Structure 1
Amino acid sequence: MYPGTHAQTAPDRPAVIVAETGEQMSYRQLDDDSAALARVLHDAGLRRGDVVALLTDNTPQALVVLWAALRSGLYITAINHHLTAKEAGYIVTDSGARALIASAALWELAEPVGAGLAVRLAYGGPVEGFDSFEDALAGAGPRLTEQPCGAVMLYSSGTTGFPKGIQPELPNRSVDQPGDPIVAIAGALYHIDGSDSYYSPAPIYHAAPLRWCAMVHALGGTVVLAKRFDAQATLEHIERYRVTVTQMVPTMFIRMLKLPDDVRTRYDVSSLRAVIHAAAPCPVDAKRAMIDWLGPIVYEYYSATEAHGMTFIDSADWLAHPGSVGRSVLGTLHICDDDGREVPPGTVGTVYFERDALPFCYLNDDEKTASAQHPEHAFWTTVGDLGSVDEDGYLYLADRKSFMIISGGVNIYPQEAENVLALHPAVHDVAVIGVPDPEMGEQVRAVVQLAEGVQGSDELAAELIDYTRSRIAHYKAPRSVRFIDELPRTPTGKLLKGTLR
C-alpha cells in the first residue's frame, strides 16, 4: 500500500506530525503533493530507474519527496547533510542523479552541489540556483496514470574513503500492490496499522528512519517526526502524541537512562507498546535497564543498509539469550570461516544471509559487489560482520572485519580520516580506531606516529582534529589523538589494528 490508499479511506488522518511544533500533514495532502511532484519529475524527463537526490533536515516535505520517487519507479538517494560539499557532490555525481531536491535550511551545502542538474528544487525558502518546490507543485499537471514502484538507494561509507551506492533491484509491481518483504515483516512483527503513532527522532537521511517512515505510511500509521533527538523532549513527545511505537539507537537509550529519576517518571509513556532498537550493539546493562523501566516492550532487529537479511528478538527471548540480536526473519543465516566453509554453532565467523536472489549490488563497483558474495553461493551475501549462532539459531555479533567504528548508531570508516591525516606535515604514520565511549558506544581516536623532530602536545592534537574537520564531515574526524613511538605493522606493511586496539 501507499499514501493514496489511506487518502481514500482516511483522508484527514495525520500522515506526519512535526513533534516540536504540532504542524500536521494529512494523508490527503501527502498523496496530493507526492503525486504532483511525481508529475513534475516526469515532465522534466525522469523515467523508471532514474535517481532523485534529497538533501534535507527532518521535515514533512522529505516524505513527500520519498513518496514521489516511490510512486514513480525512481530511486531516491538521501544525502547526509553533515557531509562537506565535496562529499555530497560526489554522491550526486556517482549516483547519476537527474534531480536534487533540498531544504532551504541547508542552503550553504545545497548551493554548490549538483550545479549541472536540470532539476533543482528547494522547499521552505529560496536557494540560489534552485526553483521553488512549492511553486512547482502548484503548477503541476494531472496525476500520472501509471505508478511503477521505486526504491531507496542509499550510500554507505567506503573503506577507501569513497562511499558506494547500495542499489536494490526495482520491484516489478505498481506502488499500490503488496510485495515489499520489509513492510510485510514489520507489519507481522509489530502489528502496525492506522491506529499507530510512530515517533522518529533520528536523522531521516539514514536508512532505518527513511525506510521505517515509508513502512509506517504503507501501513497507514502517523509519523511523529522530531527535528532532532533530545532525551527529555522525547519523553514529552511520547506523552503529548500518545506515541505507540518508536525506534532508537542504543546511544539514545543511554541518554534517557541518564536522566534524573524525577524527570524520567514525570512523563506518561504508558501509550508505548513497542520500543525498537537497531543500528549498533546495545550494552547488555543498558538494554536490561530499558526493559526494567518500560516493561517487556523492547524489540531489537539486526540488518544493514543493504537489507540483505534481518534478525529479530523480543524482550522475553532477549532475557533468555542476553546479548543476542535474535533469529532470522529474512534470509537464512550462515556462519562461515575465511574459506567460506560453514562453522559449527558457537563458532565465530562471517555472517551471511541466503536469499533467493541477489538483493543488492554496489553501484559502479562490481568488485565490491562480488566481495560481498559467498565464494561458492552467489545469493549468500555479507556486509563483513562477524558473529556466531547458537544451537537454537540465535545470532550473537562479535566484531566488524573492517574495524568499522559505530558511534551513536552511525557507521564510520576510519580510512577517510586516515587519508586526511596522512597528508599532515607533522604525521609520519597514522591509524584511526574506535575506542569505548560510555554514551556513544565508540568514539573516533587517531593514533599518530609523528614525523622526525616533531613533539606531541595538546595543541598539536587539537590542530590535527581541526585539520581533519576542515576536510571531511565532523562526525568522521577524531575526537581524541594519542601519540605513540611506532605503529604496529607487519614486515609487508600491513597495519595490525587488532594489536593497536
Structure 2
Amino acid sequence: MTSIFDQGLAPVDANYAVQSPIDFIERTASVYPDYPSIIHGAVRYNWAQTYERSRRLGSALKGRGIVKGDTVAAMLPNIPAMVECHFGVPMAGAVLNALNIRLDAETITYMLEHGEAKAVIVDREFGEVMRDAISRLENKPLIIDVDDPEYGEGVQASDLDYEAFLTEGDPQFPWQFPDNEWDAISLNYTSGTTGNPKGVVYHHRGAYLNALGNQTVWSMGMHPVYLWTLPMFHCNGWCFPWTIAAVAGTHVCLRRVDPVKILQLIKEHRVSHMCGAPIVLNALLNVPPEHKAGIDHEVRAMTAGAAPPAQVIGAIEEMGIKVTHVYGLTEVYGPVTVCAWKAEWDELPLHDRAKIKARQGVRYHTLAGTMVGDIETMEAVPKDGKTIGEIFLRGNTVMKGYLKNPKATEEAFRGGWFHTGDLAVWHEDGYLEIKDRLKDIIISGGENISTIEVEDALYRHPSVMEAAVVARPDEKWGETPCAFVTLKPEAGDVSEADIIDFCREHLARFKVPKTVVFSELPKTSTGKIQKFVLRDQAKDLE
C-alpha cells in the first residue's frame, strides 16, 4: 500500500543531491578562502589555493586521459600533494589508491596491476622502489614525480614534475559530482599477513558520512589545527583529509613520525588535534623531559588499534594530551566506534578513567549498528562484560566490498553484518571492549587468554616501554603466553623472572607469560605491532 506521503513526492533536483566529501572543499574555499589550509615546513597555503591546486590536479589528470572509474595511485608521505590528491583525483571522476609507503616493489606491482592504475603520483623518497615496481608491469601507467622541498633527496621517478603537471590544469576546472554516491572514491589495500592483500573499495557516501562522523564524535568545532601523525595512506587518513576541509581546519604536515618533532610542532603551531596508533602516544612518553615542557593549550589525541594500555593513556593525559579512543578497520573507512565520554567519569581516579578509555565504546552516529555476537550463530551475547563474541558492524560506512573478490566479500557480509574478526565483550552500558583478534586469542589448557589483558599488565611494569604477547606452542597446555618486551632506555637489569613475578601480582596464574623475550618489536608503517612475525619467532624458541 502506498503511503499518502509517497504520492507525487519523489526525489528531484530541488530536494536531492549526491553526497560526496569533495563538496567540503568547495564550501570552505568560498566561505573561508583566506584561512590557512596547509602548513608544511616553509610552505603555506590557504583554502582558496588548496582548492585551486586540487582543481588543477583533477583537470590535468582528465587532460591526460584519465576518465571516470580509472585508478590513480599515490605513493606519498603526509605532504600537501597527498591532501590535494584526496580532492583532485575524485574531481576527475577517478578513484584514489593511496599506497603504503613502506611496501616493497613486488607488493606495489601487485596492487598497481590488481587496481589497474592508469596514473601514479610518487614522492622521490620512494622513486627507486616505484621504478622497480612499474618495470614489472606490462601496461605502464602515467608517472608523476613529486619533489618535496622538505626532503630534497631521493630518485626521480619520471620527467613529469608534479608542479609542472598542475600548470596543465584549469584552476577553474568545472568538476562534477559523481553520478551516484555509491560510486567508488578510493581503493585501500589491507595489510594482510598471508596471501595477497585485499582491495577495499570506499564510496563517496561512506567517505562523506565518516568524515562528518569524525567531527561529531570528537566535537572538533571549526578551524582545528590538525597534525598529521597518522599516515594519509591508512584508510585515507581515517577520512580526516575530508573532515579537516569540512571544518575549515589547518593541515600540519609531517613526513615521518618523530616524537620530538611532533612536540615541537604542537607548540609552534598550537596543534589542537592529532591521530595515531597507541605506539605514537607511547613514543611521546619516552622523549627527554625538556621536549615535553611548554604545551600550554589543550591537545586532543585520537587513537585506535589494539586497546592502548591503561598505563599509556594515564601517562599521556598527565602530559596534558586528552585521549579519545576509537575503533575501526580498513573495511569501515577507519574509526566507527568511540569510547563516548560521560561527565560522571571525570571524578574517578586517573587509573580508573584510563581503564574506561581503553574500551572501544559505542557506534559513531554515522554507523547503523554494532553487535557483539556468537561467532557461528551470530546471536547477540549477554551484556555482562564477560562473554566473548565477535564484533559485527553494518551501515553506510562499511565498504562496498573487496575488489575482484566476490567470495571474500560474501564471507565478510554473511548474515547481513560485516564480520570484523575481533573478539570483544559487551558491557551492561552497551560499551564494547576488545579482548583480542580472533587469530590472536591464546587457548591454554582449554582456557581463553586475552593477549590484550596480559599486555596491559606488562605495561604497568615501570621498566617496560613496549610489549606484545602471542601464543607459543606447548606440549602440555597446547599454547602458553609468550611475551616480547622492549625495555625503557633507562631501565636497569630486568630479567625474565622479574617480569613473570610482576605479572603474577596482576594476573590469574594461567594467564602469566611462561616465556619472556627482550627485543625490539616489529611494526607496520602505521605503528601496529606485527604479531604474525612474533608468532613465528615464538614457535622457533628453544
The TM-score normalised by the length of structure 2 is: 0.70
- Aligned partner (choices 93, 96, 99) of residue 76 of structure 1: 96
Residue 353 of structure 1 aligns to which amino acid in structure 2? L
Please point out which of 402, 411, 422 is paired with 1:362. 402
Give me the CA root mean square deviation: 3.5
Q: Give the Å deviation of 1:121.
A: 0.9
Q: Would you say the 8 A contact 1:192–1:221 is kept in 2? A: no
Q: Give the counterpart letter for 1:12 in structure 2.
A: D
Contact 2:340 2:362 in 1 (8 A): no
Counterpart contact for 1:388–1:397, Cα < 8 Å? yes
Whether 1:105 and 2:125 are equivalent positions in the alignment is yes
Deviations 1:178-237 (A, max 9, x none): x82112222222233442101112333222636212311222100111122222222221
Task: Report if the CA contact (8 A) 1:76-1:153 is conserved.
Answer: yes
2:186 is aligned with 1:157: no
Distance in 2, Cα, partners of 1:331 & 1:439? 42
The answer as to 2:380 corresponding to 1:342 is yes
Shift in CA distance, 396/166, structure 1 to aligned 2, threshold 3 Å: same
Aligned counterparts of 1:269 and 1:124: Cα–Cα separation in 2 = 35
Conservation of the 8 A alpha-carbon contact between 2:122 and 2:130: yes
Instruction: Tell me: CA distance 1:85–1:39, structure 2 relative to 1, closer, same or farther (3 Å).
Output: same
| 1:277 maps to 2:303 | yes
Post-superposition CA distance 1:309-350 (Å, at most 9, x none): 721124555827353111112231112223222222231111
Which of 222, 226, 235 in structure 2 is aligned with 1:207? Answer: 235
Asked whether the equivalents of residues 78 and 205 of structure 1 are also in contact (C-alpha less than 8 Å), the reply is: yes
Specify the SS of the correspondent of 1:17: strand
* Larger deviation, residues 134-143 vs 196-205: 134-143
Q: Secondary structure at the match of 1:153?
A: strand
Aligned partners of 1:24 and 1:370: how far apart in 2? 46
Distance, in Å, in 2 between the alignment partners of 1:12 and 1:357 is 32
| Alignment partners' CA distance in 1, 2:306 and 2:67 | 36
1:396 aligns with 2:433: yes
Identity of matched residues, %:
21
Q: Name the structure 2 match of 1:8.
A: 30
Q: Which residue of 1 aligns with 2:163?
A: 134
Structure-to-structure mapping, 1:40-439, within 5 angstroms: 40-115=60-135, 116-124=139-147, 127-141=156-170, 143-149=172-178, 151-171=185-205, 180-207=208-235, 209=237, 211-264=239-292, 266-272=293-299, 274-294=300-320, 297-307=322-332, 310-314=336-340, 316=342, 319=353, 321=356, 323-329=358-364, 330-339=367-376, 340-345=378-383, 346=385, 347-355=387-395, 359-374=399-414, 377-378=415-416, 380-403=417-440, 435-438=483-486
Tell me the alpha carbon deviations over residues 345-379 of structure 1, each in whole angstroms, 9 at most, x when there is no partner: 231111101326964301111111112123xx32x
Provide structure 1 residue ranges, at least 5 long, that are not aligned to the other structure.
Answer: 173-178, 415-430, 441-461, 487-501
SS of aligned partner of 1:402 = coil
CA offsets, 1:92-150, max 9 Å, x none?
11111111111122211121233533421112187344522222211224644242256
Give the whole-Å Cα distance in 2 for the aligned partners of 1:262 and 1:171: 45
Q: CA, structure 1 residues 322+206, in 2 after alignment: closer, same or farther (shift >3 Å)?
A: closer
**Runs of 5+ consecutive residues of structure 2 not aligned to the other structure:** 1-22, 149-154, 179-183, 346-351, 442-450, 456-467, 471-478, 489-518
Instruction: Tell me which amino acid in the other structure corresponds to 2:304.
Output: A
**Contact 1:48-1:148 at 8 Å conserved across structures:** no
Aligned to 2:501: none
How many Å separate the matches in 2 of 1:217 and 1:356?
Answer: 21
Q: Distance in 2 between matches of 1:192 and 1:35?
A: 27
Looking at structure 2, the residues matched to 62 and 357 of structure 1 have their Cα atoms a distance apart, in angstroms, of: 22
| Aligned length in residues | 421
In 1, distance between residues paired with 2:269 and 2:235? Answer: 24
